[in-house]
Amino acid sequence: MRKTAPRSRRQSAATDPDLAGAVRSALTGVKAVSEVKMFGGIGFMLNGNLLVGASKRGLLLRVGKEQQSQALAKSGTRQMEMRGRLMDGYVYVDPPIALDTVREWVDMARAFVGTLPPKRKARRVAAKQKRK
């Protein structure tokens, strides 16, 4: 069973803006990166694919199935769970997160997400078209 840090220690974690800033710094010079509000924080997309999420709950990383066990072997990590379902290839890094380790995490996610094909933007369909 995973141990959680005492409440006072969790509160001393990097704030959401600090964590997002560390992710931005790690992505400096990387083309095709965009930011989207999601998961109660900021999602960083590479070619339209989720790369990293930064929020007060920590980092969400898309590392792929092949690197998942390597990522989960590190302290403070857990597999992403959504509505009771474990999500293969995604891991959370729980706070507190040392800001000097963010680049290593982002690089691990980039190694996988960089292999994915770019996503195309969805076409917007007119809300209501008049019938003839």
For domain 7-113, give the CATH number: 3.30.1460
- For the segment 98-104, the average pLDDT, to the nearest whole number, is 93
- Residues linked to residue 92 through DSSP beta bridges, in sequence order: 60, 78
The predicted pLDDT at position 43 comes to 96
| 32-46, 49-63, 68-82, 118-132: least confidently modelled range | 118-132
Over its C-alpha atoms, the chain yields an Rg (Å, rounded) of 17
Tell me the pLDDT of the chain averaged across its residues.
86
The predicted pLDDT at position 124 comes to 66
- What pLDDT digit, counting tens, does each position of 7-40 carry? 333 333 455 789 999 999 999 999 999 999 997 8
**pLDDT-derived band of residue 132, with 50, 70 and 90 as boundaries?**
low
The domains of the chain are located at 7-113
Backbone angles phi, psi at 42, to 5 degrees: -120, 130
Whole-angstrom distance, CA of residue 98 vs CA of residue 114:
24
The residue whose two tokens read 């969790």 is 10
CA distances from 20 to 73, 89, 120, 130 (A): 24, 21, 25, 45
Choose among 106, 130, 1, 125: nearest CA to 54. Answer: 106
User: Is this structure's pTM higher than 0.85?
Assistant: no
Task: Answer for the pair 27, 44: CB distance below 8 angstroms, yes or no.
Answer: yes
